[in-house]
Amino acid sequence: MKKIVVALDGHSSCGKSTTAKQVAQELGYAYIDTGAMYRAVTLYFLEHYVDLTNPKKVQEALNNIEVTFHRNLKTGRNEVFLNGLNVEDEIRKMYISDKVSEVSVLPAVRHAMVAEQKKMGKRRGIVMDGRDIGTAVFPDAEVKVFMTADVEIRARRRQQELFEKKQLVPFDEIVENLKKRDHIDSTRAESPLKMADDAHLLDTSHITVDEQVDFVLDLVASALLQKELAQ
Ligand code: DC
């Protein structure tokens, strides 16, 4: 059977990764969390005091960065590695969330990450989540979904997630971080967060994860059927 690309874009913390992971598992496809790639780059930049206003230093740093994904055999989770080091937990911390959008606006960073992501999905059979997958990385994705949700509902879910990782973050701080990231992500010049014309809108404010997953899987089923019929 032909394999397709599933692109899930949308606002921060509206359930993209959870949905993408389950859809990929259901289809036997690879799952790529592109936000994790930008987070890993941010971690490197912070650790090496890279001056974001100096394009030469930014490019030099990018030349020294390798972001890869490896499956954790114990948990079955795809985890992100920065130059061979597992940074899956570190990149989810608040100090990275606070800085990641500022790093993601840099054209050199976007060019490097988008090129990498295109390579990863060259053979299709992939579910990718992010901000610009349906618009810039895979404009030809067979299934495009744009996810959103009420900001307070997103913040509550995010707070719970962080709490489960033993990080206590005040609710207002999370709301502010989500609003700030949404704003920077949507207004940047290079591949901004924007719903593709042919994307399907999915508001996750009042639905369950299973319903989110089913919504995407139904679209996948129709896309696959269309492909079969077109052959
Ligand atoms: O999905 P996430 O919240 O982990 O993403 C972290 C940040 O990375 C997000 O605020 C913007 C950036 N990002 C991006 O610019 N483009 C992507 N395709 C994915 C994430």
Dump pLDDT digits (tens) for 91-116: 999 999 999 999 999 999 999 999 99
Q: Does any ligand 1 atom lie closer than 6 A to the CB of residue 135?
A: no
Ligand 1 atom with the shortest distance to the CA of 9:
18
Distance 65 CA to ligand 1 centre (A): 17
Protein residue closest via CA to atom 8 of ligand 1: 35
What's the confidence (pLDDT) of residue 90?
96
**227 annotated as ligand-binding:** no
**28 annotated as ligand-binding:** no
**222 annotated as ligand-binding:** no
Protein residue closest via CA to atom 16 of ligand 1: 131
Sorting pLDDT into bands at 50, 70 and 90, what band is 77? confident
The whole-model pTM stands at: 0.95
**13 annotated as ligand-binding:** yes
Mutation test residue for ligand 1: of 16, 18, 104, the one with most atoms within 8 Å of CB:
104
pLDDT tens-digit profile of 147-192? 999 999 999 999 999 999 899 999 999 999 999 999 999 999 999 9
CA angle 156, 160, 163 (to 5 degrees): 135
Superfamily of domain 5-221: P-loop containing nucleotide triphosphate hydrolases (3.40.50.300)
**Residue 201 bridge partners (DSSP):** 146
**What are the b/e assignments for 12-30, b being 16+ CB within 10 Å?**
bbbbbbbbbbbbbeebebb
The one-letter amino acid at 31: Y
By the 10 Å C-beta count (0-12 exposed, 13-18 middle, 19+ buried), 116 is classed as middle
What's the confidence (pLDDT) of residue 78?
87
Sorting pLDDT into bands at 50, 70 and 90, what band is 55? very high
What are the φ and ψ backbone dihedral angles of 115, each rounded to 5 degrees?
-60, -40
Output the average pLDDT for the chain.
95
Distance 183 CA to ligand 1 centre (A): 12
**101 annotated as ligand-binding:** no
pLDDT tens-digit profile of 33-48? 999 999 999 999 999 9
Q: Does any ligand 1 atom lie closer than 6 A to the CB of residue 39?
A: yes
Q: Does any ligand 1 atom lie closer than 6 A to the CB of residue 12?
A: yes
Distance 194 CA to ligand 1 centre (A): 13
Q: Are 5 and 123 in contact (CB under 8 A)?
A: no
